[in-house]
Each structure stands twice: as structure tokens, then as C-alpha cells.
Amino acid sequence: MLSNIYKETEKNILKEDTLLVKLVAHGKPFEEYDKLFKDTNIRFTIIDYQGKVYFDSKQPNQEVMDNHSGRQEVLSAIYGNSGFAIRKSKTLGSYYAYYATKYKLSPEDKYIIRISEDYTEKMEQIKTVAWILSLFFIFLNFVSYFFYKNYLKRDLENKIKIMKGFLESGELERKIFYGREEKWLYEFWEILEEWQKNNLDNIAKLDFEKKILDLIISSVDAFIGLIDNNGNFVLKNNSLNHLLIIDSQKYTESFKYIEIITLIKNSITLKKDIRKEVYVNGIKEYFLISVKYIKKNDQFLVAIKDITSTRRTVEIQKNFISNVSHELKTPLTNIKGYLIALEDAPKEIRLRFLNIINNNVEKLENIVLDFLNISKIESSKILQVVPVEPKLIEDQIRESLFGIIKRKKAELNFNWNLLEINQGMINTDKEKLIMILKNLIENGIIYNTSDVPSIKVDITEEKSKYLFSVKDNGIGIPQDKLKKVFERFYRVDKARTSNMGGTGLGLAIVKELVEQFGGEIVIESSEHEGSNFRFYFLK
Ligand code: ADP
């Protein structure tokens, strides 16, 4: 640009010089030109259209000058009106500016007049100015860089810092006004606020879901744990703590029992789902262990459920059925045998046989009744508690035990100590209480060799419970059998008691019922002296 301005100025100067030369030289022969222009610095050349130089104001010997028809400015002047060029002069060796135009002396005498001027100094000037300008712009560049660095950049950094703080703080909104002139920043801030809001919503949702998940995981009564591929627990709940050493992260160190570790290890090594029942010998318990391989995260979900009680129930059921069959078989075999024998038996022993058959039928009846009671108790665990008159309970028990009381000449006494607020009534499930008392009293009379079997029943009402005691003067129970008598089909002296019509189910029924009342039962007993069955009901 700078060089163009210089060129344009130079062109105009040369143009004016041309006019001046034309004006002075017009009408004069070439020979006079030297004299005419001897005092000027203007260098001009007269060239014909073939390029031959006729006159040069600075070169007296035109013969040495080569043909100028190839010069750019001369060509432009011949074919146009004028021509301008700057180049290194072959003749003089330095930079020159040339301006050429037509020079008509007459219609036949047509020449080109060319003015030239040393341009070297101007070229130098242009270079110097260009240098100065470059330096100026470099300087400006530095200034703007420092301005950017120290002001704009800091300003932007501050704004970004505010945004960062806002995002990190978890605030919902922050009143910052970025003027409308900073439109992009204003819009960006709006997007940021919206984004923050959505983010916080999502965080709250995730938090809530996590809490629910934690709650679910911690409330299931099975152990749940997630193990990563290094064998470390990523997460676990607190169930079945007795299987774990709490503070260890590695599952191999966490679990106390080798049976569990081995199973999990199998699944982890094979990267395979496993579901298996495991018996842990150390604690004599059964567990259902399931290990699931989660391929996506390369993790293993372990769930351990204690199935000991289910396993035991199944075993109890199995035992129960085999016991039932066994219990039924004995009286049935007896009945069958005596019925066959009856056919050929002489008249005098027939009655004895019939008696035996009758006893066995009674035994069968007792067993069946006890079974019915057990299944009734197990199926309806709901108590129907109503105020009951004690006398009603007493009368019903006496009535149902009338036969045995009479036969064994037994004494039965009730002693009721009830609080006055209930007007002498006891709040209870009548049928179930009668079943308990009847069983205990009957046992007290049966397992009794005293001349006068005596049964004392005490009922004491307290603020929150009823206390019962059924005391007899019977044969007593050996200390080591006190717990066993509550098991189904257990009899202290099997041979003797089965002859007494016992099924071994009575105390099992009593215990189950007492527990339904929220209570507990204990026995105090001494052999040959008697037993005391004490229990309580929660009100
Ligand atoms: P059973 O039908 O044989 O009476 P129970 O469950 O009522 O069955 O009693 C279990 C066993 O406990 C009885 O066989 C008997 O040996 C013993 N037993 C129960 N009550 C008494 C008692 N009051 N005195 C002595 N032994 C008792």
C-alpha cells in the first residue's frame, strides 16, 4: 500500500515534468535540447516508435544506448497513451521510475518522450517507513497481547471462576448480571443455570433412589454383597453378620467359613453363575448361596440366605410323618391281632380281648384327636381374647376330665387371684386356655402314683400378664428330660406311658399354645415328689 502511494506520487511528479519538458521543448530541434535543459536535473529521453533513442538528456552519446522498444513504459505509451514503470536501470545500475507518453512534433514525426528519476532514495524511504511500521505493529501486537492477558483474559478467568464456583456449590441460582452486550456470555449463563437445575434434580433423584436401594438392601434378611474382579467388596449389607469378619474388604478374608469362600471362588474363577445349598459345619447351619456374574461391570453379586429353619422344618415334617405312621401302626396291629384271636378264643377270655381292642381304639382316637388339635393350632394362630368367667373354665375342665378324676380319685383345686378392675373376669382365648390346662392337669393325674393324686392350679393376674402354675404330686420328670418332654412324640418312659394312653403330643401342643399367647413355659420337677408347670400369658 505504502509503495503504491509512493508510486502514484512519483507518477504524478513525472507526469508534471513531462508536461514541463514538452512545453519548453516544443518546436525546438533536438540539437538544442542540451542547451535548453542543461540547468535541470530532469532526465528525459526521446525515442521513436521503433525504439531508437534520439535524445537522452543525461547520455550525450545516444549511439551507445540500446533499442528501447522492449521497455515496458515505452510499449504502454506506443500502444496506449502513457506508461509507467519502476525498475533497476541497466544503464545506470540503480532503481529508476519511468513515465512515458506520446510526443508528436508533426503528424509524421511521432516520438515517445520518457521522463525518468532516480527512485533509489524513495525505495530506501519506503523500506525505512515499512520497517518503522512493522516495528510499530509488532509493538501494537505486544500491547494488545498484554492487554488481553492482563485484562480480557483475567476478566474471562474471573467469569469462568464464578461459573465454576456456581456449579461446584450446588446452588440453584446465583444472581449475576452479564450485560446484554455480552450476549454469548449471557446466553451461556442461562444454559448453565438450566443445566445446574437439571443436574441438581437428577442428583436428588439419584440420591433418593440410592436411599431406597440402601433401605431395600439393608432390610432384606439375606446377605447381599457386590464383589469386584479383584475380590473386594464394593457394597454389602449387614445381614448374617455372624458369617463375616466385619472390617475386611476382601471376600476371602471377610467370610469366616471355607465352605462359603470355596463356592464364591468357583464362580469367580469360572465367571459363571452358581446357585447351591451349602452346609456350614462350623455352625451347623444351611445356606442357599447364589453368585451371579455381572458381565457388564465384571462384578459378582453374592446373595446368601439362611435356610436352616426351612431345612429343619422339612426334617421335622418328615420325622412327624414317620412318627405318626409308627404311632398308628402299634394300636392297629394290636386291634388286628386280637380280632383274629377273638374268633377262636374261649368265652371267658373274649371279654379281655375285647377290652384290649377297646383300649387300642381309644388310643387311636386320642392320637387322631391330638393330630387334629395340632393342625388346628397351627392353622389358626389368631387368638380370640374375650372376658371369661373363671368358673366356666373350671367347669369345662372338670367335665371333660370327669372319668379320670373319678377313676384315680384325684383332687383338683383352682386358685384365682384376679385384679379387681376386670370384675372377676379373665381376658383370654377360652378354648386355648382350656386345652392347655386340661393337658397339664390330665398329665398330673396320669403320671401320678400317689393314693390321692392332687393337682393345684394357680392363676395370678399382674399388670401386664397372667401367671399360671399347675402343680402335681406325681412321679416327677428327671432333670435331663425337662426340655425334651416338649418335643413331639417324646415320652419319658415310652413302654409305660403308651400303656397309659399317651401320645407324646400333649406338651408339644401346650408349648405351642403358650407361645401363641406371647408367653413361655418352664417345669420345676423332682422325681417321686411331683412337678410344677409354670407359664405366663402376655395381656
Ligand atoms: P403324653 O401323651 O405321653 O402324655 P405329653 O407330651 O403330654 O405326652 O408328655 C410327654 C411326656 O412327659 C410323658 O410321656 C411323660 O413321660 C412326661 N410327663 C408329662 N407330664 C408329666 C407330669 N406331670 N409328671 C411326670 N411326667 C410327665
Predicted pLDDT of residue 465: 95
Give the pLDDT band of residue 185 (cuts 50, 70, 90): confident
With a pLDDT cut of 90, the percent of the chain lying above it is: 60
Q: In the prediction, which pLDDT does 500 show?
A: 61
Is the pLDDT reported for residue 182 higher than 80?
A: no
Q: What percent of the chain has pLDDT over 70?
A: 97
Q: What is the average pLDDT value for the chain, to the nearest integer?
A: 90
Atom of ligand 1 nearest to the CA of 533: 23
pLDDT at residue number 453: 97
pLDDT at 440: 98
* pLDDT band of 123, cuts 50, 70, 90: confident
* Protein residue whose Cα sits closest to atom 8 of ligand 1: 504
**Which helix or strand (DSSP H or E) is residue 370 part of?**
helix 347-379
Which pLDDT does position 29 carry in this prediction? 87
Residue 190's pLDDT band (boundaries 50, 70, 90)? confident
Q: Return the ligand 1 atom nearest residue 486 CA.
A: 6
| Long-range own/partner contacts, residues 152-157 (CB < 8 A, 24 or more apart) | none
Per-residue pLDDT at 203 exceeds 60: yes
Query: 478 pLDDT exceeds 70?
Result: yes
Pick the residue whose CA is nearest to atom 13 on ligand 1: 491
What value, to the nearest 5°, has the Cα angle with vertex 105 and ends 100 and 108? 105
CA of 407 to the centre of ligand 1 (A): 19
> Which amino acid residue places its CA nearest to atom 11 of ligand 1?
491
Q: Separation of 470 CA from ligand 1 center, angstroms?
A: 13
Q: Atom of ligand 1 at shortest distance to CA of 474?
A: 24
Q: Answer for the pair 249, 233: CB distance below 8 angstroms, yes or no.
A: yes
Distance between Cα 207 and ligand 1 center (Å): 60
Name the residue at shortest CA distance from atom 21 of ligand 1: 443
Which phi and psi angles does 79 have, rounded to 5°? -90, -15
Chain segment 298-340, per-residue pLDDT in tens: 999 999 999 999 998 888 888 888 888 888 998 999 999 999 9
pLDDT at 377: 85
Q: Give me the pLDDT at residue 59, please.
A: 81
User: In the prediction, which pLDDT does 177 show?
Assistant: 63
Region 234-259: mean pLDDT is 90
Q: What angle do CA 205, 211, 215 make, to 5 degrees?
A: 145
Q: Average pLDDT of 508-519?
A: 95
* pLDDT tens-digit map of 259-284: 999 999 999 999 999 999 999 999 99
Mean pLDDT of 148-161: 84
User: Atom 23 in ligand 1: which residue has the minimum CA distance?
Assistant: 444
The alpha carbon of 507 and the centre of ligand 1 are apart by a number of angstroms equal to 7
Contact residues of ligand 1, CB 6 A cut-off: 443-444, 447, 472, 474-477, 485, 490-493, 497, 502-508, 531
The pLDDT of residue 489 is 84
Question: Which residues of 372-515 form beta strands (DSSP E)?
Answer: 386-388, 411-417, 426-428, 454-461, 465-472
Q: Which is more confident, 489 or 536?
A: 536
Give residue 388's pLDDT band: very low, low, confident or very high (50, 70, 90).
very high
List Cβ neighbours of 533 (8 Å cut-off, separation of 6 or more).
440, 468, 469, 470, 471, 510, 521, 522, 523
Whole-number Å distance, alpha carbon 504 to ligand 1 midpoint, is 7
Give me ligand 1 centre to Cα 439, in Å.
9
pTM, full prediction: 0.53
Per-residue pLDDT, 252: 93
User: Could you tell me which residue, 320 or 103, shows the higher pLDDT?
Assistant: 103
Q: What is the DSSP string of 85-138?
A: EEEE-TTTSSEEEEEEEEEESSSS-EEEEEEEEE-HHHHHHHHHHHHHHHHHHH
- pLDDT-based confidence at 58, cuts 50/70/90? confident
The b/e string for 360-380 (b: 16+ C-beta within 10 A; e otherwise) is beebbebbeebbebbeebeee
Our mutation pick for probing the ligand 1 site, out of 369, 370, 440, 443, counting the most ligand atoms within 8 A of Cβ, is 443
Q: Are residues 426 and 461 in contact, defined by beta-carbon separation less than 8 angstroms?
A: yes
Residue 226 confidence (pLDDT) above 80: yes
Q: For residue 91, what pLDDT is reported?
A: 67
Residue nearest to atom 12 of ligand 1 (CA): 485
Per-residue pLDDT at 498 exceeds 60: no
| Helix (H), strand (E) at residue 331 | helix 308-344
The mean pLDDT of 194-198, rounded to a whole number, is 91
How many angstroms does the Cα of residue 311 sit away from the middle of ligand 1? Answer: 28
pLDDT at residue 152, rounded to an integer: 82
The answer, yes or no, to whether residue 445 has pLDDT greater than 90, is yes
**Residue whose CB lies within 8 A of the most ligand 1 atoms, among 362, 371, 445, 447, for a mutation test:** 447
